[in-house]
Amino acid sequence: MSAPPPAPVREPAWSLSRSAISLWVAQGVLTTIIEALVVTALIVFVPADAGWWTTLVRWGGPAFVLVTAVVDIGVQPRLRYRVHRWEVTEEAVYTLTGWLNRTWTLVPISRIQTVDVTRGVFQQLFGLATVAVLTASSQGTVRVPHLGVDVARRVADDLARRAELVRDEAT
Amino acid sequence: MIDPPEVPGRRTSAWVLLLHTVTFRQARSLVPAVLALGAARGFDGGMVTVVALVVGVTLLSLLWATVTWWRFSYADSDTAVVVTRGLLSRSVRTVPLDRVRGVEVEAPALHRLFGLVRVRIDAAAGAVAGKDEELVVDGVPRAEGDRLRTRLLTRRRPGVVPGAAVEGPALPPPDEPEQEIARFDKRWLLYAPLVGSYLAVPLAGVGALFRLLDEVPDRFVPEFGRPDLADGTVAALVVAAGLVLLVVGSIVGSAVVNWGFRLVRRGGSLIAVRGLVTRRHTELEIDRIRGCTVSQGVGMRLVGAARASALVTGLGDAARRGQLLPLGPREEAWSLAGRLVADPGPLRAHPPAARRRAVVRAMVSGLLVLVAGAVLTATQGWWPVLVAGVVLTVLGVPLGLARYAALGHAAGPSSFAVRSGWLVREHTVLQRRAVVGWQVRQSAVQRRAGLVTVLACVGAGSGGYPARDIAADEAAGFARAASGSWADTLTPAG
């Protein structure tokens, strides 16, 4: 592949928390375990002479689990970490997500309606939190996943305070 | 606990009982069940059972309507409107007046017989859309409906941010009592057969008729002699009759909805009135209008017809309520749009790469059929799929070109515009202040072609308006020009 053309717009400056990688790895491990259990159950409980497709399950199942394990645990977490970027500037919140299909989202602080901080079960284990910035538009939502808890709190407080100060009509 | 309103609760008119009983408003959900029951058991008792059923359902309906009416009351104070309802679990809903975003007064045909109206109070919150955001006060006298409407809407005026309209184009001063902006010309009804949604009206009618015939037990369906389809003239007659039915049905359908459409400006609001059977009275606040969409379907483009709708922040059911011109000549639609949003100037064409992408995308489905057809021909010797694939692929070229021709964007001093779509071409003009965010999207294919899609996030209408496939290096500039200096964040460093 030739050198990729330059990005159409600027890259946001900051990365997510490094713990996000651990979280994604943990999620990958969990998915792999579940898949392995399902495949094992299939192999154990389905009699070998049930039909031609049992051979497919016996050979294809483990191979599928192996491939997804490598992708989910070995490749995807690091790739995601590289891909997700975010930044809070003087005037706006800015994020980049997606690897093949990339999406940059920019929301000015003056148009922020609410700032949410949420923590899922996994996120609590790894000390992470998601910051969601909502506007009047259903499509203009910025979500920064997996920031360190203290960073997320600080960012949310800071954004809420600044939004209060510069709010014009937030619609 | 909510503060009790200082005004005593008001009731809706008792006539509404009669209305709801006649229309089975509450008991309507029972009718299919009863029909199904009847169909399953067979109408054995003959006429007696049927009559008993009808009487039973009617009585039930009356009872239901009475209870609902008895337990329903509403009150409007200086600060809020309170609606109380519910038989067993009482619900008291209080909506502060500054949250009321729109009031619609509608008068369905039966309501008009008794001089009643139905008032819908739109209290949508933020980006959440849904029917339950609406308070409905069904069945008050017309004068009371008008009083409620003016009361709910005028209380809010002081809250309007002064200077909010500065960015918008010059509108006539607001002290004029009433000024007519548009009026429906009956000749415009002739456009109706070329508009998809109106064509759907007779089709839906025919569909409903067939469904009804299905429900009725076979005994009651009269036997038609099977027409002799081999005769060409019969088939031709049926097709011709069907076409006439479509045309007439769509014209009638559009007449029913749009009859006597008027758009007037009163103070800071636009008021749209329309409808033959059900009169609707919708009020839009001009300060909340962020833009305007002029859309034209394929058929409408042939005859130069268009429809215009306003994009209003926080308007529930925006597609219907925002309509400024349901159907009319293109010039009329544009002159209306021009009164609300400044024209950003001529559209800029998108780069040639966008044309290539549009054509390729339009051909992909045809190519897939083509490949499948080739496989089928090779293995089964079955060629029709191959031919269909070739035809579809070839048709993809003009389709792609037409889609490309629809693309355009422009950024002016106080507004910007995007246009796209072939089946329905939508040309949206938005004020700069409408933008609450930007989303720049680039797929892997677009990256190689040097294209991006720039989506303006707007708290009105569909929420986002994309400029599809513009040149990648133009994206930041367009966003900057169409919104403000805050969009400089997007500008690449290099």
The model's pTM is 0.77
Enumerate the residues of chain A whose CB falls inside 8 A of the CB of residue B290: 171
* Most confident listed range (A162-171, B244-253, B373-382, B468-477): B468-477
pLDDT of B42 strictly over 70? no
Tokens describing residue B69: 């009416």
| pLDDT value of residue B493 | 74
Cβ within 8 Å, pair A169-B433: yes
Q: Residue B28 and residue B470: Cα distance in Å, rounded? A: 51
Exposure letters B35-69 (e unless 16+ CB within 10 A, then b): eeebeeeeeeeeeeeeeebeeebeebbbebbeebb
Burial of A111 (0-12, 13-18, 19+ CB in 10 A): buried
Same structural domain, B35 and B132:
yes
Q: Where are the alpha helices (DSSP H) in B259-324?
A: 298-303, 318-321
Enumerate the residues of chain A whose CB falls inside 8 A of the CB of residue B472: 5, 8
Enumerate the residues of chain B whose CB falls inside 8 A of the CB of residue A138: 127, 129, 463-464
- Of residues B277 and B427, more confidence is placed in B427
% of chain B with per-residue pLDDT over 90: 24
Task: Tell whether A97 is within 8 A of chain B (Cβ).
Answer: no
- B94 within some domain: yes
Residue that is last in its domain, among B157, B180, B196: B157
Q: Which of A2, A9, A109 is the best residue to mutate to test the B interface, defined by the most B CB atoms within 10 Å of its own CB?
A: A9
Q: Residue B341 and residue B190: Cα distance in Å, rounded? A: 28
pLDDT of B2 strictly over 80? no
Cβ within 8 Å, pair B489-A91: yes
Same structural domain, B489 and B391:
no
Cβ within 8 Å, pair B464-A137: yes
- B93 within some domain: yes
| pLDDT value of residue A57 | 80
Same structural domain, B363 and B471:
no
pLDDT of B120 strictly over 70? yes
| pLDDT value of residue B206 | 77
**What contacts A79, CB < 8 A, 6 or more positions away?**
A99
DSSP structure string for B382-404: --HHHHHHHHHHHHHHHHHHHHH
Q: Residue B300 and residue B194: Cα distance in Å, rounded? A: 6
Enumerate the residues of chain B whose CB falls inside 8 A of the CB of residue A4: 447
pLDDT of B124 strictly over 60? no
Cβ within 8 Å, pair A9-B491: yes
Tokens describing residue A164: 């209060």
Q: Which of A104, A115, A116, A133 is the best residue to mutate to test the B interface, defined by the most B CB atoms within 10 Å of its own CB?
A: A104
Residue that is last in its domain, among B406, B427, B442: B406
Same structural domain, B84 and B144:
yes
Cβ within 8 Å, pair B489-A111: no
Task: Tell whether A8 is within 8 A of chain B (Cβ).
Answer: yes
pLDDT-based confidence at residue B224 (cuts at 50, 70, 90):
low
Q: Taking residues B379-391, report their average pLDDT.
A: 87
- B79 within some domain: yes
Same structural domain, B34 and B113:
yes
Residue that is last in its domain, among B93, B127, B157: B157
Q: Residue A90 and residue A104: Cα distance in Å, rounded? A: 17
pLDDT of B170 strictly over 60? no
Cβ within 8 Å, pair B436-A142: no
Please state the separation of Cα B370 from the chain's center in Å.
37
Q: Are B420 and B413 spatial neighbours (Cβ–Cβ below 8 Å)?
A: no
- B126 within some domain: yes
| pLDDT value of residue A151 | 92
Same structural domain, B389 and B424:
no
Q: What is the mean pLDDT, run by run of 10 residues, along chain A of 171 residues?
A: 70 90 93 93 80 80 92 91 91 90 92 88 90 87 90 91 74 52
CA distance B360 to chain A (A): 18
| pLDDT value of residue B8 | 66
Q: Please name which of A84, A78, A105, A79 lies closest in space to residue A15, comparing C-alpha atoms.
A: A84
At B297-321, the pLDDT tens digits run 888 898 899 999 999 887 766 677 7
Enumerate the residues of chain B whose CB falls inside 8 A of the CB of residue A100: 443-444
- B96 within some domain: yes
Same structural domain, B484 and B360:
no
Same structural domain, B24 and B128:
yes
Q: Are B126 and A138 spatial neighbours (Cβ–Cβ below 8 Å)?
A: no
User: Residue B83 is inside which H or E element, if any?
Assistant: strand B80-85
Q: Residue B179 and residue A1: Cα distance in Å, rounded? A: 63
ipTM of the complex: 0.87
Tally of domains in chain B: 3
Q: Are B280 and B274 spatial neighbours (Cβ–Cβ below 8 Å)?
A: yes
- B167 within some domain: no
Q: Residue B300 and residue B191: Cα distance in Å, rounded? A: 7
Looking up tokens 């029913």 gives B256
- B219 within some domain: no
Task: Tell whether A107 is within 8 A of chain B (Cβ).
Answer: yes
Same structural domain, B437 and B472:
yes
Report the side by side order of strands in the sheet with A92-97: A14-15, A85-88, A92-97, A102-108, B435-442, B451-458, B464-471
Closest residue in chain B to residue A170, using alpha carbons only: B436
pLDDT of B192 strictly over 80? yes
At B263-278, the pLDDT tens digits run 988 878 888 888 888 8
Q: Residue A169 and residue B159: Cα distance in Å, rounded? A: 12
The type of residue at A153 is R
Q: Are B9 and B73 spatial neighbours (Cβ–Cβ below 8 Å)?
A: yes
CATH code for position B38: 2.30.29
DSSP code for B89: S
Cβ within 8 Å, pair B476-A137: no
Cβ within 8 Å, pair B437-A108: yes
CB-defined contacts A:B, below 8 A:
140
| pLDDT value of residue B348 | 92
Question: Which residues, listed in sequence order, are joined to residue B416 by a DSSP beta bridge?
Answer: B411, B430
Same structural domain, B105 and B126:
yes
Enumerate the residues of chain A whose CB falls inside 8 A of the CB of residue B441: 101-104
Same structural domain, B396 and B457:
no
Cβ within 8 Å, pair B492-A10: yes
**C-alpha pair distances (Å), B12 with each of B77, B355, B464:** 17, 59, 40
Q: How many CB atoms lie within 10 A of CB B240?
A: 10
pLDDT of B440 strictly over 80? yes
Q: Taking residues B141-147, report their average pLDDT.
A: 88
Domain housing B423:
407-494
CA distance B130 to chain A (A): 13
| pLDDT value of residue B444 | 92
Same structural domain, B356 and B421:
no
